[in-house]
Structure 1
Amino acid sequence: MLEFWNNHFETSSFIPHGHCYLWKPELVGLHLTSDLMIAIAYYSIPITLFYFVRNRPDLPFNRIFLLFCLFIVACGTTHLMNVWTLWHPVYWVSGILKAITATVSVFTAIQLIPIVPQALALPSPEQLVQANQALQEQIAERLKIEAELKTYQGQLEQRVVDRTAQLADSNRQMEDLLRREQEARRQAEAAKVEIQKREEMARRQLAEIEAIYATAPIGLCVLDTEFRYVRINEYLAEINGLAVADHLGHTVRELLPELGEVQEQIFQQVLASGNPILNVEVHGTTPAQPGVERDWLVSYYPLRSQDEEVLGINVTAQEITDRKLAEQALQDRATELARLNARLAQTTSTLQERNQDLDQFAYIVSHDLKAPLRAISSLSEWIEEDLSGHIPAENQQQLELLRSRVRRMEALIDGLLTYSRVGRTEVAVEPVDVNELLAEVIDSLSPPPSFTIIIPSDLPRLNTKRLLLNQVFSNLISNAIKHHTRPDGRIVVAWQDTGDFHEFAVSDDGPGIEPQYYDKIFTIFQTLKTGDRQDNTGVGLSIVKKILDTEGGRIQVESHLNLGTTFRFWWRK
């Protein structure tokens, strides 16, 4: 054991690392400062991650975070050891620490592999899109029902207005009839002692009253103080289902037991008070339609003599069965609408919960899945740095391939997040000069100098969602640049007004697309090229299509192999 200790931890046979730097203060200071700062950063990162995991017990994959903490601490310790070996050549200890770091790093990478299927099993944006679609359909159904209800309500209100006007007119006619009948009776009584002319006038007025009884559009009758029918018009006789002659001399209770019992209390009140009782709703059945429930609006007027004695009761009756049925139908519609509103509220609540789940998923993807990817990329760089000059060319290529695939995975995650947010976030509507917008897009894409991009000078000004239109143009022009096979590409933007839409076209002279791939290119993560290019994620065109579908537009592709491609889209004004 002593021999092992002496062989591996004895330092007299080695020289400090500082000799390699010829003890130049600036060089030694550079390595000393760099390794110390890296070590401090490495030690602070695990503390932050540990604090984050401790305060987020709901976060999935906590174990992988702790493993990352462990190997980052190990990496930091190797840099501290680099500081120590500047003066103390304990290279065996330094090598052992690097071996421990390598073991922890490999174990962490292995543990990361089974996490990917679990992350993929999280709720997908498409499920939430389907829920949003179901909500839109229910909203459309609700709007349809509300429109039908408004139409029906308007018809009902018009019908009520018409019937009310008829009733008011009938009431006025009845009141006029009562006044004229009383006047006629007074004139008839006075005619006994006056000349023949006044008697003839009274008979004419009585004839007019009889004509009113015959032609009035409402039921009319006169009852004596025993509630027997003295006079009744044909309209009311038909309502009751009996002939006019069958009414005279009989009480209301005798002919219509159910209705008579209800109304006798009102008859007695009119006789006792001498005051009219107006617009009483009466419900029941008559022999005219046995078993059929009907409704009437009835008014009761006292019939007075010249000395104001109450001699009987004048009754007017207007059938309102249709109106009552319409009111009930309206109430049923209102109840159904309330039920649909409750269902819509429940669906909205469910959608909000699912949107929260999607937001949580997006948070996990952006902050939790990308962090291990960045750590893996950094770890490969640290290994390459620590083993500089000792890594075979094949392993060097494999490390670069690893970093390339990590960058591609980060680009895929960013594309997925952008795709999931389309249609779920509110975007402000603002005035947009399309010429200025395209200038900004081209400036941000920085196309090669050999590329020619032609933009018409008369592009329209829109009042629209600037951010979304920017994403559409940016993805289409970016695709035309990065998928071109020659350095001297040419892109042309065109437009025309088609009524409710502005039709835009982005054309290039690139390699073109075969017809069987026209639908595939708009599917998320579908790309016609393979490889580890970071910018070749297959998300851009799916984002374009989703934006246009959400905003009520559409897109189509026209292409010929080796002759170029045109993407044509319609943007609602």
Structure 2
Amino acid sequence: MEQFNFSIAKFNKLFPFYILIDVKLNIKSVGNSLSRILPNLIENTSFNDYFFIKRPFVKLLEKDTIQDVINQLVVIESYLDRSILLKGQFELLDENLLFIGSPWFYSIEDLNEKNLTINDFAFHDPLLDLLHVQKNQDIANSELKLLLNTINNQKILLKKDKEELTKFSLAASANNSGVVFTKSNGEIVWANEAYLILTGCSIENVIGKTLLEIVDFEFANPEVLGEVMVAFYKGESFDFEILHQRNRNDFFWARIKGQLFSETTEDAISYFVTFEDISKEKDSVDQLKESENRLASLIVNLQTGILLEDENRKILLVNKQFCEIFGIDLPPEIMIGWDCSNSAEDTKHYFKSEDTFVSRIEEILQNRETVLSEILELTDGRIFERSYTPIYRDKQYKGHLWSYTDVTININYKENLQNQKERYRGIISNMNLGLIEIDNEESILLANETFCEMSGFSINELIGKKKSDIFRALESVYKTNPNFENPNSSTLDSYELKIKNKKNKESRDWLVSRSLKHNINGMIIGGICVYFDITEKNVLQAQKEQLLKRLENQNIHLNEYAHVVSHDLKSPLRSIHSLVQWIKEDNDTVFNEKTTNYFSLIQDKVEKMDLLIQGILNYSSLENNKFAKELVDLNIIIKNILDVIEIPSHIDICVKNKLPIITHDRYKMMQLFQNLIENAIFYNDKPKGIITISYTEDNEKYTFSVKDNGPGIAKENQERIFQIFQSLETNKKNNGIGLSIVKTIIEKANGKVWVESIENKGATFFFTVNKEI
């Protein structure tokens, strides 16, 4: 965004009463107009030596209190001249603090006393409009008095006899205003030189014509002309304003006053009429009205409740916000003229301290001194800020202005903010994290006790020092992200730092994180750095990594051992099984039934041992095998499984819906489905066994199910069955490992497996497979 740049001269023209304060709270420069009213003010000295802040009340302007005066109306008073109040606002400007505002005067005379003129104010300053409204009212009153005297004098002159006409004409000729004499019908019989100059007419073009003939043209107000005609016919005096033609291309506003001179015959001179050019006055009045309209519009739309009373406490002006604040359900204009003498008693029930509210108003009205930002608490929880301004004209008390502002949100916000500050200050002071606050030049502004303990520096050794100098003294070495400390960096990561404590020279590892600090305008003004000692954590992490490495090596050796042992065990088992089978065949007629049964038991045990060894091999192979990513058609997988496993004649297996083609490990999916199907077959106790395979899907995963109508699983056993070597029933073909293999395959692919079952009503095994592995 393009920035504005002002020269000192241009800035003075916009804000001639500004005060620029540097970071040390010294006055850097002031506006030209402020220098005029405070000539003894010296730059490069403390702001607090010359001014104090009345609203909001701040004992001293310090770094900790700057935020208390930002974003609100501020009133400051000068120690050099206690009659000077400056009203405006503070703004943060880079590293400086800028006050912009204007003085608070009550009359034009106050400006004159301070040797100020209109050129000392910015054109946009509304103070001049307010003072001019007051001044013009004074001027209007004076003009009315003068006009009344003039009219009275004219009446005396007009009542004299016609013999005095010559003398009166001489006097009229010397009059600066235009003067004409007319008959009762309006015909002009005489005009002075001033009238001819004013209207641009010659004497020949005037004598014998009526005023209406001279004045009447397309821009004249017909209603006013009609009133003049009526006045002539009735023989009455008249006073009106009209747009008068000076020549073909020029007009002026004229005030025309007619006074009955004689009530004699029609041909006698009857009227004395004066003409005055009031164009400048009309312009001033129009400007005044425009200013008054702007002011009235401003007051009406203010979010502050305004009540203006005269010296007798009669309402002169009230705005809508005032009515809303006090629950007055009336248009503000209806209240004009109301007597507010008993208003305190009528409204005291709104406030917590009723008696104090009434007595305070009486005290304020008696003292007639300005009151700024007085806090009032209401019974409904609202908080108002009230101000009182007495109004003087020619040093005479003429009334006062009340203003009420609802500051509930601001007060509550400040209180909550202060409570949060106190709470977080306590947390920071007691937490096991080192913390420092820095500005854009890396100067340390704040450090907590934990950082002092971690670094070996005292608070006094840290505040005001460069952060880089401190860490140079700590012999710091970056372990990660060495570019992070760029103060203008917009990337805020954490990084590790190795340092040596200043006191004991002990080497420590720190985890560092930083956040940027912004002012209210969003500009970066520094940062906050947090330090956590992770030395013990790093030691434990190193030990953990060593332990994991040892465990990994042990698992490798155990798997190798399991394969070797399993191979060595399976070979003699197969031999034993074959020998037993040969003995039974060779001695089929010799052994009795009992001996034959013993040999059958030996064969069953050998087969079960072989299954157990194979299950252990399969389970151990899952720990290290990685998942292959390939397209797997599950319909083909199920078909191959049904072709190779033994399915009793009383068992029916069906696939409810066509299974999807997924990206997974083909062999592990075959292991998974085969174990679930065999498990459903082995435990089915129904004359007609039914096993159903189906699936559902969403955007992220597939959910498969294998349902049977077997004996079901009790709720207390539904978790145990997934543990290795856990089997609920004795079955020579079940080694207690199958469901453990299922669980391991699914969990290694970040899926889930569970069972839903009711005893004697079958069981359904569910498992999920992510669409991306």
TM range (shorter): 0.3 to 0.5
Higher helix proportion (structure 1 or 2): 1
Larger radius of gyration: 2
TM-score by length of 2: 0.33
Higher strand proportion (structure 1 or 2): 2
Greater relative CO (CA pairs within 8 A, separation 6+): 1
